[in-house]
């Protein structure tokens, strides 16, 4: 066995040394709720961006979050992912993890993944490599030169490629994918990193009608195995995926229910849908 073989053997990814092994994070969803947001408040220079917000997300659900610009959607995601600390209130991941006690890296490690509106894939790497780099055991620890993927990891990548519909494109550079394909790859990267709760910001902005439809199918297929919270403006899209819609307004929950409930809700029509329709009419 030459030195390279020895090194490779040492760095086999299915036999990682204990200190390198990420600890499995147990999320207690025995009450069927994976995310608790209670009495949340945050102000920026005296302006209340989040105002006594309460939100409960069930394990495995696909939730849509809508609301006009400035309603607090992004700020809420910033707080859940540890980017912004609230002034008061609580945020729990399952029964036992107080997210306000953790930083961004630790929250990501617990299994909360965020997809920003602009795709952030590694353009110069292949689709396959992008997924490989997202595998949890691979995060910045093992030199790729020596490491081999375990069969389990290869199977997982194949599975993710299938879920996101990019099996045929796996050896393409991510940079040459279409806008929609990049978005799917980024969702795939969250799946490869074992994210259990996915926060997805405006996934269909800039997509073609066909890509939008595929994205709806993709997010629908994730529900059950993953919990997905989607921020989206495209109401047609929201209708096609949401079981429950939460409407944010001035940092609070204005209404929550099925798409039909929401579209009939007088408050929602007045402050959000009315406004959107007026904008559309104005733009037409
Ligand atoms: N870091 C910040 N500093 C000051 N004001 C902020 C900051 N982040 C957000 N805001 C303000 O908080 C409000 C809510 O913003 P945001 O959460 O981005 O809304 P949404 O995503 O729903 O459009 C807005 O009025 C915004 O200008
Ligand atoms: Mg926003």
Q: Kindly report, residue by residue over 235-283, the tens digit of the pLDDT.
A: 889 988 878 999 999 999 999 999 999 999 999 998 877 655 545 544 4
Q: Ligand 1: which residue has its CA nearest to atom 1? A: 44
Q: Find out whether 198 and 187 touch, Cβ atoms under 8 Å.
A: yes
Average pLDDT over residues 85-107: 96
Residues ≥6 apart with Cβ < 8 Å to 214: 165, 180, 184
Whether the CB of 72 sits within 6 Å of ligand 1: yes
Helix, coil or strand: residue 273: helix
pLDDT at 144: 54
- Among residues 71, 91, 55, 69, the alpha carbon closest in space to that of 245 is found at 55
Ligand 1 contact, 116 CB (< 6 A):
no
* Lowest mean pLDDT segment, chosen from 15-19, 37-41, 224-228: 15-19
Given ligand 1 and candidates 40, 43, 44, 81, which is best to mutate, with the most ligand atoms within 8 Å of its CB? 44
Query: Residue 5 pLDDT > 70, yes or no?
Result: no
Query: 79 is written with which tokens?
Result: 């707080």
Nearest CA to ligand 1 atom 18: 74
Q: Mean pLDDT throughout 135-160?
A: 74
**Mean pLDDT of all residues in 128-157:** 77
246 pocket-lining for ligand 1 (C-beta < 6 Å)? no
Residue 135 Cα to ligand 1 middle (Å): 32
Given a cut of 70, whether residue 118 has pLDDT beyond it is yes
The CB of 252 under 6 Å from ligand 1? The reply is: no
From ligand 1's centre to the CA of 70, what distance in Å? 5
Q: Indicate whether residue 249 lines ligand 1 (CB < 6 A).
A: no
How far is it, in rounded angstroms, from Cα 273 to Cα 254?
Answer: 12
Q: Which domains does the chain have, with CATH numbers?
A: 3-283 (3.40.50.300)
State the average pLDDT over residues 161-188.
96
71 CA closest ligand 1 atom index: 22
Any ligand 1 atom below 6 A from CB of 49: yes
The rounded Å distance from CA 72 to ligand 1 centre is 6
**Rg of the chain's alpha carbons, rounded to an integer?**
20
H-state helical runs in 164-265 = 179-192, 209-222, 235-241, 259-264
pLDDT score, position 129? 95
The CA 234 to ligand 2 mean position distance, Å, reads 14
15 has pLDDT over 60: no
Output the pTM of the full model.
Answer: 0.85
156 with 192: CB under 8 angstroms?
yes
Q: Considering only CA atoms, which residue is closest to atom 11 of ligand 1? A: 49
The per-residue pLDDT of the chain, averaged, comes to 87
* Per-residue pLDDT at 67 exceeds 80: yes
pLDDT of residue 139: 47
What pLDDT shows up at residue 148?
76
Q: Is the pLDDT of residue 218 over 70?
A: yes
Contact 37, 53 (CB under 8 A): yes
Check pocket membership of 71 for ligand 1, CB cut-off 6 A.
yes
Residue 187 has what pLDDT?
95
What is the mean pLDDT of the segment spanning 220-234?
91
Is the distance from the beta carbon of residue 53 to the nearest atom of ligand 1 less than 6 Å?
Answer: no
Are 89 and 39 a contacting pair, CB within 8 Å? Answer: yes
Strands 197-201 and 227-231: parallel
């Amino acid at each position: 066995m030459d030195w390279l073989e020895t090194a490779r053997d040492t760095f086999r990814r299915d036999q990682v040394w204990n200190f390198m092994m990420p600890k499995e994070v147990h999320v207690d969803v025995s009450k069927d709720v994976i995310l608790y947001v209670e009495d949340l408040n945050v102000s920026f220079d005296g302006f209340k961006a989040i105002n006594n917000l309460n939100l409960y997300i069930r394990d495995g659900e696909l939730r849509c979050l809508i609301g006009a610009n400035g309603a607090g959607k992004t700020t809420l995601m910033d707080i859940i992912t540890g980017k912004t600390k609230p002034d008061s209130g609580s945020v729990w991941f399952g029964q036992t993890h107080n997210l306000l006690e953790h930083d961004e890296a630790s929250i990501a490690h617990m299994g909360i993944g965020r997809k920003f509106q602009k795709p952030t894939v590694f353009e110069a790497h292949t689709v396959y490599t992008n997924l490989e780099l997202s595998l949890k055991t691979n995060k910045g620890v093992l030199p790729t030169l020596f490491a081999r993927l375990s069969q389990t990891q290869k199977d997982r990548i194949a599975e993710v490629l299938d879920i996101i519909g990019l099996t045929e494109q796996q050896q393409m550079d991510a940079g040459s994918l279409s806008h929609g394909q990049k978005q799917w790859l980024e969702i795939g990267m969250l799946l490869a990193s074992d994210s259990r709760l996915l926060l997805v910001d405006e996934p269909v902005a800039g997509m073609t009608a066909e890509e939008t439809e595929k994205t709806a199918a993709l997010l629908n297929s994730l529900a059950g195995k993953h919990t997905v919270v989607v921020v989206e403006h495209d109401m047609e899209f929201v209708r096609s995926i949401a079981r429950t819609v939460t409407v944010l307004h001035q940092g609070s929950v204005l209404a929550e229910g099925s798409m039909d409930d929401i579209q009939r809700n007088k408050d929602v029509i007045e402050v959000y849908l009315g406004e959107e329709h007026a904008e559309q009419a104005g733009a037409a």
